[in-house]
Amino acid sequence: MTKYGFLGIGIMGKAMATNLLNAGFDVTVWNRTAAACRPLVELGAKQGKTAADVVAQSDITFAMVSDPEAAKALCFGKDGVLEGISEGKSYIDVSTVDADTSSDIYHAVKANGGRFLEAPVSGSKKPAEDGTLVFLCAGDQSLYEDAVDALDVMGKKSFYFPRMGQGAQMKLVINMIMGTMMTAFAEGLCLGDKIGLEKTDILDVIGQGAITCPMFQLKGPLMMEENFAPAFPLKHMQKDMRLALLQGDACSQPLYTSSAANNAYLKARQDGRGDEDFSAVIKNL
Amino acid sequence: MTKYGFLGIGIMGKAMATNLLNAGFDVTVWNRTAAACRPLVELGAKQGKTAADVVAQSDITFAMVSDPEAAKALCFGKDGVLEGISEGKSYIDVSTVDADTSSDIYHAVKANGGRFLEAPVSGSKKPAEDGTLVFLCAGDQSLYEDAVDALDVMGKKSFYFPRMGQGAQMKLVINMIMGTMMTAFAEGLCLGDKIGLEKTDILDVIGQGAITCPMFQLKGPLMMEENFAPAFPLKHMQKDMRLALLQGDACSQPLYTSSAANNAYLKARQDGRGDEDFSAVIKNL
Amino acid sequence: MTKYGFLGIGIMGKAMATNLLNAGFDVTVWNRTAAACRPLVELGAKQGKTAADVVAQSDITFAMVSDPEAAKALCFGKDGVLEGISEGKSYIDVSTVDADTSSDIYHAVKANGGRFLEAPVSGSKKPAEDGTLVFLCAGDQSLYEDAVDALDVMGKKSFYFPRMGQGAQMKLVINMIMGTMMTAFAEGLCLGDKIGLEKTDILDVIGQGAITCPMFQLKGPLMMEENFAPAFPLKHMQKDMRLALLQGDACSQPLYTSSAANNAYLKARQDGRGDEDFSAVIKNL
Amino acid sequence: MTKYGFLGIGIMGKAMATNLLNAGFDVTVWNRTAAACRPLVELGAKQGKTAADVVAQSDITFAMVSDPEAAKALCFGKDGVLEGISEGKSYIDVSTVDADTSSDIYHAVKANGGRFLEAPVSGSKKPAEDGTLVFLCAGDQSLYEDAVDALDVMGKKSFYFPRMGQGAQMKLVINMIMGTMMTAFAEGLCLGDKIGLEKTDILDVIGQGAITCPMFQLKGPLMMEENFAPAFPLKHMQKDMRLALLQGDACSQPLYTSSAANNAYLKARQDGRGDEDFSAVIKNL
pLDDT single digits (tens) B197-210: 999 999 999 999 99
* Domain A3-162: assigned CATH number: 3.40.50.720
Q: Are A249 and D266 in contact (CB under 8 A)?
A: yes
Strand-pairing partners, residue C79, are none
The nearest alpha carbon in chain A to B257 belongs to A257
Whether residue D260 and residue A259 make contact (CB cut-off 8 A), yes or no, is yes
| Minimal Cβ distance to D266: which of A242, A254, A267 | A254
Whether residue D256 and residue C263 make contact (CB cut-off 8 A), yes or no, is yes
Can you tell me the mean pLDDT for C29-36?
A: 96
* D259, D275, D284, best to mutate vs chain A, most A CBs in 10 Å: D259
- Supply the pLDDT for residue D259: 98
Catalytic (active site) residue A171? yes
Whether residue C266 and residue B256 make contact (CB cut-off 8 A), yes or no, is no
Whether residue D270 and residue A254 make contact (CB cut-off 8 A), yes or no, is yes
The answer for residues whose C-beta is within 8 angstroms of residue B149's C-beta and 6 or more apart is none
Q: Give all chains having 3 or more CB-to-CB distances under 8 Å with chain A.
A: B, D
Averaged pLDDT of chain B: 95
C178: chain D residues, CB-CB within 8 Å: 210-211
A256: chain D residues, CB-CB within 8 Å: 260, 263
Environment class of A231 (CB within 10 Å of its CB; exposed 0-12, middle 13-18, buried 19+)? middle
Q: For residues A144, A148, A153 and A158, what is the CA-based torsion angle, rounded to 10 degrees?
A: 60
- The dihedral sign for the CA sequence D194, D196, D201, D205: negative
Would you say residue D106 has pLDDT above 90?
A: yes
H helices of chain A, in order, are 11-22, 38-42, 51-57, 68-76, 81-84, 99-111, 125-130, 141-154, 166-194, 199-207, 214-224, 234-250, 256-270
The nearest alpha carbon in chain B to A217 belongs to B210
> Where exactly does CATH 3.40.50.720 map onto chain B?
3-164
- Supply the pLDDT for residue A66: 84
- Supply the pLDDT for residue C96: 85
Pick the CATH number of D169-284 from 2.130.10.10, 1.10.1040.10, 3.40.50.1860, 3.40.50.720: 1.10.1040.10
Of A171, A199, A219, A267, which residue is the catalytic one?
A171
Which CATH architecture does the domain made up of B3-164 adopt? Answer: 3-Layer(aba) Sandwich (3.40)
The interface predicted TM-score (ipTM) is 0.90
A256: chain B residues, CB-CB within 8 Å: 183, 187, 260-261, 263-264, 285
- A123-127, D36-40, D182-186 — which is least confidently predicted? A123-127
Q: What percent of chain B has pLDDT over 70?
A: 100
C-alpha to C-alpha distances, D63 to C64, D73, D91, nearest whole angstrom: 58, 12, 8
Whether residue D184 and residue C184 make contact (CB cut-off 8 A), yes or no, is yes
In this structure, chain D runs to a length of 285
Q: What percent of chain C has pLDDT over 70?
A: 100
pLDDT tens profile B141-169: 999 999 999 999 999 999 999 899 999 99
Confidence of residue B97 (pLDDT cuts 50, 70, 90): confident
Whether residue D254 and residue A242 make contact (CB cut-off 8 A), yes or no, is no
Of C171, C235, C239, C283, which residue is the catalytic one?
C171
C-alpha to C-alpha distances, D82 to C133, D55, D64, D141, D241, nearest whole angstrom: 58, 8, 16, 20, 31
> Where exactly does CATH 1.10.1040.10 map onto chain D?
169-284
Confidence of residue D99 (pLDDT cuts 50, 70, 90): confident
Q: Does A211 touch chain B (CB under 8 A)?
A: yes
- Supply the pLDDT for residue C126: 85
Whether residue B260 and residue A260 make contact (CB cut-off 8 A), yes or no, is yes
Q: What is the DSSP string of C36-48?
A: GGHHHHHTT-EE-
Catalytic residue annotation of D: 171
CA B254/CA B245 separation, integer angstroms:
9
Q: Are D117 and D92 in contact (CB under 8 A)?
A: yes
- Supply the pLDDT for residue A125: 83
Would you say residue A47 has pLDDT above 90?
A: yes
Distance (Å) from the alpha carbon of D49 to chain C's nearest alpha carbon: 36
pLDDT tens profile C200-227: 999 999 999 999 999 999 999 999 999 9
- Supply the pLDDT for residue B98: 83
Q: Are A71 and A100 in contact (CB under 8 A)?
A: no
* C105 sits in which H/E element: helix C99-111
Which CATH architecture does the domain made up of D3-163 adopt? Answer: 3-Layer(aba) Sandwich (3.40)
H helices of chain B, in order, are 11-22, 38-42, 51-57, 68-76, 81-84, 99-111, 125-130, 141-154, 166-194, 199-207, 214-224, 234-250, 256-270
Whether residue D248 and residue A266 make contact (CB cut-off 8 A), yes or no, is yes
- The dihedral sign for the CA sequence D96, D98, D102, D108: negative
- Supply the pLDDT for residue C98: 83
Q: For residues C256, C258, C262 and C268, what is the CA-based torsion angle, rounded to 10 degrees?
A: 110
Confidence of residue D234 (pLDDT cuts 50, 70, 90): very high
CA B206/CA B208 separation, integer angstroms:
5
Whether residue D257 and residue C248 make contact (CB cut-off 8 A), yes or no, is no
D248: chain A residues, CB-CB within 8 Å: 266
- Supply the pLDDT for residue B232: 86
Confidence of residue B283 (pLDDT cuts 50, 70, 90): very high
Confidence of residue A99 (pLDDT cuts 50, 70, 90): confident
Averaged pLDDT of chain C: 95
Of B171, B199, B235, B239, which residue is the catalytic one?
B171
- What is the residue type of C214? P
Can you tell me the mean pLDDT for A1-25?
A: 96
| Minimal Cβ distance to D248: which of C170, C183, C191 | C191
Would you say residue D67 has pLDDT above 90?
A: no
Residues 107 through 146 of chain A touching chain B, CB cutoff 8 Å: 122-123, 134, 136
> Where exactly does CATH 3.40.50.720 map onto chain D?
3-163
Q: Does A246 touch chain B (CB under 8 A)?
A: no
- Supply the pLDDT for residue C18: 98
Q: Does B222 touch chain A (CB under 8 A)?
A: no
